[in-house]
Structure 1
Amino acid sequence: MTAHTPAPNRRLRLLRRRLAIVSTVAAGGLLLAACGGNDTEGMDHGSGNSTSATSTPTTGDNPAPGAFNDTDVMFAQMMIPHHEQALEMSGLADGRAADAEVKALVADIEKAQDPEIRTMKSWLKAWDEPESAEKGMPGMDHGAGGMDHGSDMAGMMSDADMKKLQAAKGTEFDRMFAQMMIEHHEGAITMAEDERKNGRNTTAKKLAADVVKGQSAEVDRFEKILDRL
């Protein structure tokens, strides 16, 4: 029996079919590779955060362009009321503080922290996040008197502390103000250090670094004031 040899036309059809199959497989592989790249591209879990980072447009209208994570959001939401209490404490110095350096520090605190509050509020607006994170957080109670200053937020003064500071005058106020502001600043520094370590947004991390630097220097000045009062 002689071997059957395919006709030339049949061999050509077989070759074309094989080439078509190879082309289809290759195209499918490229498609899967592209899909796989889209699934992972842009995923950023920050530094230990359980949720993925969110991207914001890098336009000139965005005050904090680039990716951000939950740590960035919480930093702004917590630091805003923290700064607001520092301004409230500083406001009590008018007519109560006697020491010239205490008065100078009050002016420095107001000059730095009021603009930072506005800046962080602009971040949250751009990120489409609420300014307050009190809902569902233990120790946060807005009640009839606003935020309970006895919350678990680092360095926050209680309502009783604020009443004592309000009742003090002269050297007593200066000493109490310095002691409370040292504690308050140390709380802010702790929060800012966490942002520097675990935050994702470059702008937020830069402000956190400024908080650490500026408030650490003010703590040193308050400690020197206490040494001489």
Structure 2
Amino acid sequence: MTSANNTRFSAEALTWDSNPDVQLATALAHKAYLAHLPPAPTLSTYNVLDLGCGTGLLSLALAPSVLSVTAVDAAEGMIAALESKLASPDTNNNNINNTPRNVLPVCALLQDPDDPRLATDPATGETVPTGRRFDLVVSHLVLHHIPDLPALLKTIHGCLVPGGRVMVTDFEDTGPEARRFHPEGKMDGVERHGITEGEMRRVMEGAGFAEVRVERAFEMGKKVETEPGSGVLGPVVVFPFLICEGTKG
């Protein structure tokens, strides 16, 4: 991710969770992931890496279903927001135990599967002396910010245990209309207007993934600018999202 992305997302971190589009997209992605993952007896054994975790909305949603989540983001503001959530007990229904204890925030621009910042097990607090690997890597609404998708997918492949899975979601590039997903004033750091099935299949297979599947997972309606650059939101456009899966052989 570029410095433009890091600056923008750090600045937006404090208000990120108040955006209903962010909440809806995360909820839909979480539902799609669970529909594609194995049931509880197996899923509860998974150590998960969430790349581009933001304020941790997806990480915290997955945490009750898995063994651990290592939540990575390059934007310091986003990681600070997640750390604040984890430091403040969730008192909903007067139950302080709602705050997950198996999520570890990590501020990093991950380029090396052996990055020592991944070495700590969130569930136990123990540090793995050699490269720590994961059963599942997820990433939501991150790919369209990445300049070099092949490099990212190769890094993800290296982060997985043999037989581990990658599962990523982003909006689909359906043509010129896909550009409207972002207001013109927020184009800094946007590397592509969505992803395509063909590109993702080629990139994932090129990174070494087997059993690659790329398909539409859900659709989301979102208000877009009445005119490019106007800053005035008006019509609702429905954007399809792709889910991209693969297995490390």
Q: After TM superposition, is the score higher than 0.5?
A: no
- TM-score, with structure 1 as normaliser: 0.23
Q: Which has the larger radius of gyration?
A: 1
Q: Which has the higher strand share?
A: 2
Greater share of residues in helix: 1
